[in-house]
Structure 1
C-alpha cells in the first residue's frame, strides 16, 4: 500500500480533533480555514473514510476518526522525538546551549555570567527560556533545554536535581519605608501594608501563602502580577510592598529599593540544577551549567 499522507494533513486532523472547531484549529496552525479543510478532505480521500462529523455548531470524530486519532498522534509524537534527538546531536557539534531558568536567575545573574562566557567561547550560541518554574521543568523533561535552573524538580522521578543553594525570601520596600530600617521583618508586621503579589499559579505564591497561613492576619493583595520582576517594578513605583526570593532583587537595577529578610517564619527555597535522568549534557552546556552554579553559590 502506497501512503500519500503528508505530515501537515495529520497535524490538521489532530488540531481539529483537539479543538472541535475548524476556526480554532486553523488559528492554532496559522493557516486559513479553506486550507485546513483541503488538508482534511485529502486525508479522508486517501483513507477512503470520513474522519470528522461536521455540523453548523460543532465538529466531532466519527468512529473511524476515533480509531485513527491514536495512530496519527503516535506518528507525530515519534517524529518529534526523532527531530529532538537529531537536534541534540547537531547542538553538540555546532556549539549551541539552551538554558531554562526561573526569571530571578535570568534577570539577576545570567547577564554577567553570559558576558564572561562569551569572552571565552565567542562562537557558542545561547538560547534562554526564562519562564516559570513549571515551564523550566517541562522544558528539561521534553528535551527543549540542555539543563534547567529552578527551585522545583527534586521530586520529579524523570529528572535529576542537584541543589546549589538555599535562597531566603525578603520583603522589598522603598528605602524610605519604615520597614527598611529593620534588620528583619515578621510576617505579622505586614498586616496593614498593601501587597504586590505574584499570581496564584506561581510556585513562589505557594510558599508565600503557606507562610501567611501560619499568621493570624495577612495584608490585602492590592496588585497581582505574573512575574517577580513586575512586582519589583510596582514597588519601585510606590504602589506597595512585595515578598520575593532574595536573588530576584538587583541593587544596581533598583537602587531605591531594599530587601529585608522575613522571620516568624523564615522561608527559603532551594535553587538547583536540573537535567533529565540519565542524560549526559554536552561539553559547552556543562561548562555554562557549572559557571552558573558557581555564580549562584557565590551571590
Structure 2
C-alpha cells in the first residue's frame, strides 16, 4: 500500500467518482479503476459502493480515510524535507485562512513575505474554520489561520490574538457613539449575522442569540448575510446592527462610515489561531512566514479601534500636561 495508491483513493473519494478523479490526476479512467482495484485486493475489502449512480465510501473506506490522509501528508513532508536540503528559501507555501481573516493586515504580511522571498510560491486559500483544519490535516495547506482552537490531536493550534467583539451601527443611528447599560436595550434592533453553517466559526446568528439567551432575553430579529463585506455595507446603510470584531471594521471606523454602541454588560471576544500539522515538516520559508504572522498579530494590541495606540498615549500625555 503506497502513498500513490492512497492519494488515488482519496481523490476518488473527494471528487465523487472515477471520472472526476481521472481528470484531476491526469490519468485514464481504466488506470484509476485498476489502482483502486489493486488497493482493494491488497486490503481484502471493497472501499467504494455504487448507490443510485453515486460513488460512496464503504464502511472500510470510511475507516481508511484518516489513515490515508496522514500517510499522504507524511509522504509530502518527506519530499519537501529532501528538497529543502538544497533549496532553503524556495518551494511552495500554502496559507489557508478563514474568509473573514483575509483582510488588509494579512495582505500586508503576504506582500512583505513575497518581497523577501521571491523564489517561494506563496498561495492563499480561503475556507471555513473547519475546512482550514482539514486542509492542514491533509497536507494541502502549510499554515492555517482560523477562529478558536481545534482540539484534534494531529493539529498544533496556537492562539495569537484575542479580538474583542463590539456592536456596530450606522453613524446616524440614534445610539451611535452612545452607551447602553444592558444588552436587553438592543433586543428590538434588527441584527445582521452569518447564517448558521456546520463547521463555520465566524460570528453566526447562534453567537448573537446566545448572548441574549444567556440573559433570558429570548431570540431577536435577524437577517442572515453570508458575506462580511455585505454585512458592513448593510450596517452602514442603517439596515441593522451587527456584532463584529474590531479588526473587521477598523477602516470604516477611521473613515467615519460606521459607529459603535457600547454595551455595559457585554463581554464577548474570539481567538484567532494559527494552525499547523503536529509533527509535520515546515520548510525554512514556511517557518519564516509563520514567524511573520505571529509577530504581526502579536503586535495587534498596538491598534485600538483602528487607531495606533501611540496616538491614544499621546492624547493622554497632553491631557496630563494640561491638568498639571
Q: Same fold (TM over 0.5)?
A: yes
Distance 2:162 2:66 in 1: 41
- The TM-score with structure 2 as length reference comes to 0.66
- The TM-score with structure 1 as length reference comes to 0.71
> Residue 77 of structure 2 contacts residue 281 of structure 2 at CA under 8 Å; is this kept in 1?
no
Distance 1:254 1:235 in 2: 15
> Are positions 1:100 and 2:92 aligned together?
no
SS at match of 1:109: helix
Alignment of 1:46-65 (within 5 A): none
State the 1:169 CA deviation. Answer: 0.7
SS at match of 2:175: helix
| Residue in structure 2 matched with residue 230 of structure 1 by the alignment | 230
> Are positions 1:84 and 2:80 aligned together?
no
Which of residues 153, 156, 163 is equivalent to 1:157? 153
> Residue 150 of structure 1 contacts residue 273 of structure 1 at CA under 8 Å; is this kept in 2?
yes
Which of residues 123, 147, 151 is equivalent to 2:143? 147
**Unaligned ranges ≥5, structure 1:** 1-5
State the 1:220 CA deviation. Answer: 0.3
Distance 1:106 1:193 in 2: 29
SS at match of 1:180: coil
Distance 1:277 1:43 in 2: 29
CA RMSD of aligned residues (A): 4.5
> Residue 169 of structure 1 contacts residue 246 of structure 1 at CA under 8 Å; is this kept in 2?
yes
CA shift digits 1:240-295 (9 cap, x unpaired): 22112222224169831234455423111122222222235222112222222222
State the 1:110 CA deviation. Answer: 0.8
> Residue 171 of structure 2 contacts residue 236 of structure 2 at CA under 8 Å; is this kept in 1?
no
CA shift digits 1:65-102 (9 cap, x unpaired): 97996899799768844663466448854332211222
SS at match of 1:275: strand
> Residue 170 of structure 1 contacts residue 243 of structure 1 at CA under 8 Å; is this kept in 2?
yes
Distance 2:66 2:218 in 1: 52
State the 1:168 CA deviation. Answer: 0.7
Distance 1:254 1:30 in 2: 51
State the 1:208 CA deviation. Answer: 3.0
Matched residues, number: 280
Alignment of 1:1-299 (within 5 A): 25=17, 29=21, 80-81=72-73, 84-85=76-77, 88-89=80-81, 92=84, 93=87, 94-183=90-179, 186-201=182-197, 202-203=200-201, 204-205=203-204, 206-215=206-215, 216-221=217-222, 223-251=223-251, 255=255, 256-260=257-261, 262-296=263-297, 297-298=299-300, 299=303
| Residue in structure 2 matched with residue 3 of structure 1 by the alignment | none
Distance 1:150 1:103 in 2: 9
> Residue 188 of structure 1 contacts residue 217 of structure 1 at CA under 8 Å; is this kept in 2?
no
CA shift digits 1:12-60 (9 cap, x unpaired): 9966xx99xxxx74785587xxx9699769988xx8xxx89989x6679
